[in-house]
Amino acid sequence: MRALIQRVSDASVTVDGRVTGQIGPGLLVLVCAMQGDDAATAEKLAARVARLRIFRDEGGKMNRSVLDTGGEALVVSQFTLAADTRSGNRPGFSSAAAPELGEALYQAFAGALGDLGIPVAMGEFGADMQVALTNSGPVAIWLDSADRS
């Protein structure tokens, strides 16, 4: 799985004019399931996201996790994180998981974050979404489960 994590002051996602998810301080997590991923992959990535120390401590250093700060997470599915741009001008997405598996792993990832004690809001899988955020820092971190065993 791949995730783009942004530290935010606030974030929301809107579908067809209605807000489906909204958070205050915490993380906006754009997530994509890849071919070969499974529920264990989703759980491991959720644990990495939950423990990622990208919030400032009392000394101003990025030394605290969303768990440490009591922050929230807005989880949004984004298959375009699977983009292959190695050739041509049109990205390919063939390495993304099939939609049925992608949705199941998206739900599993969000559920695993919630199981760790993080309040989770969500987008709507497969929908045309508008995502609004205030990136704090700015801080944006890319994680790929294939980069770590």
135 and 7 in contact (C-beta within 8 Å)?
yes
pLDDT-based confidence at residue 148 (cuts at 50, 70, 90): low
Is 69 a residue of the active site? no
Catalytic hit among 35, 80, 130, 134 = 80
> Residue 111 and residue 8: Cα distance in Å, rounded?
20
Q: What is the pLDDT of residues 94-120, one digit of tens each?
A: 999 999 999 999 999 999 999 999 999
> Residue 50 and residue 29: Cα distance in Å, rounded?
11
Is 78 a residue of the active site? yes
pTM over 0.85: yes
22 and 12 in contact (C-beta within 8 Å)?
yes
Domains of the chain, first to last: 2-147 (3.50.80.10)
- Please name the residue that has the structure tokens 């971190």: 141
Is 35 a residue of the active site? no
